Structure formats: structure tokens, C-alpha cells
């Protein structure tokens, strides 16, 4: 996994795990790799992965069965979508729409691009 310098590595790992949950790699109530397994697969210190897992637990996305491992909460997918939508609407959307305006891109052009995108990615 390649890491960006503009975001802490543990948060980049949480993003990847959440992406995998949304993609169905880790189904509801399914087990995720142990801290050591995951650390080896993404080539980071196990403490960094533990920090990621702690953050995911605090966000009610995963839970720990003591002595068994970490598992995906049944409502994790819904929770992730809610978090990401809030992030988009409360932060990223202003930047996105400001960029569109500064480039002179109309709502009609965006609607067409989005429609084409949806048709291409069915």
C-alpha cells in the first residue's frame, strides 16, 4: 500500500478497510485480519494498525471478541456511508462546487457527466 504524506497513515488504513467493507470484502459480522496479519500485508508497524482498529471501534464499525479477533458490526456499511456523506456535504462539496464555478462548468454539464458516468459504471 502506498501512503500519502497529507494524511496520517492510520487514517489511510481505516479508509482502506472501510472501502473493503463497502465493497463486500469484509461482510457484516465477518472477521477482519488480526493486527499482525494486517500490519504485514500493508507493511506498517502493528501499533499503527492497532490505532486504526481502535478508531474503527470508536466509530462503531468493528468490534473485538476478546481472544478471537475483530469483526465487522452489522450496521457498519450504513455507518460508513453516513460518515462519508456527512464529510462530503459538510466539507468537500464546498470545494468541489467552488472549483466547478471557477472553471465555468454549468450544472447541465455536470448532470450530463454524472449521467454518463453512471451509465458507464452500471
Instruction: Read off the pLDDT of residues 9-39 as tens digits, 9 standing for 90 and up.
Output: 999 999 999 999 999 999 999 999 999 999 9
Residue 72 DSSP label: E
Per-residue pLDDT, 4: 85
Share of the chain above pLDDT 90, in %: 93
Average pLDDT value over all residues in the chain: 95
- In this prediction, residues 86-108 reach a mean pLDDT of 93
Query: CA-CA distance, 66 to 103, in Å (whole number)?
Result: 53
Do residues 75 and 60 make contact, with C-beta atoms less than 8 angstroms apart? yes
pLDDT exceeds 90 at position 91:
no
12: CB partners within 8 A, 6+ apart:
1, 3, 4
CATH 1.10.10.10 fits 9-76, yes or no: yes
Q: How many CB atoms lie within 10 A of CB 45?
A: 10
Instruction: Give the residue with greater pLDDT, 1 vs 76.
Output: 76
Amino acid at each position: 500500500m502506498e501512503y500519502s504524506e497529507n494524511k496520517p497513515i492510520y487514517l489511510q488504513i481505516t479508509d482502506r478497510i472501510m472501502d473493503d467493507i463497502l465493497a463486500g470484502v469484509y461482510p457484516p459480522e465477518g472477521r477482519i485480519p488480526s493486527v499482525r496479519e494486517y500490519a504485514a500485508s500493508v507493511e506498517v508497524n502493528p501499533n499503527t494498525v492497532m490505532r486504526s482498529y481502535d478508531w474503527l471501534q470508536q466509530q462503531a464499525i468493528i468490534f473485538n471478541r476478546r481472544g478471537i479477533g475483530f469483526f465487522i458490526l452489522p450496521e457498519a456499511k450504513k455507518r460508513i456511508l453516513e460518515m462519508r456523506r456527512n464529510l462530503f456535504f459538510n466539507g468537500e462539496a464546498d470545494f468541489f462546487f467552488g472549483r466547478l464555478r471557477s472553471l465555468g462548468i454549468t450544472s447541465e454539464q455536470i448532470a450530463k457527466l454524472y449521467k454518463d458516468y453512471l451509465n458507464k459504471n452500471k
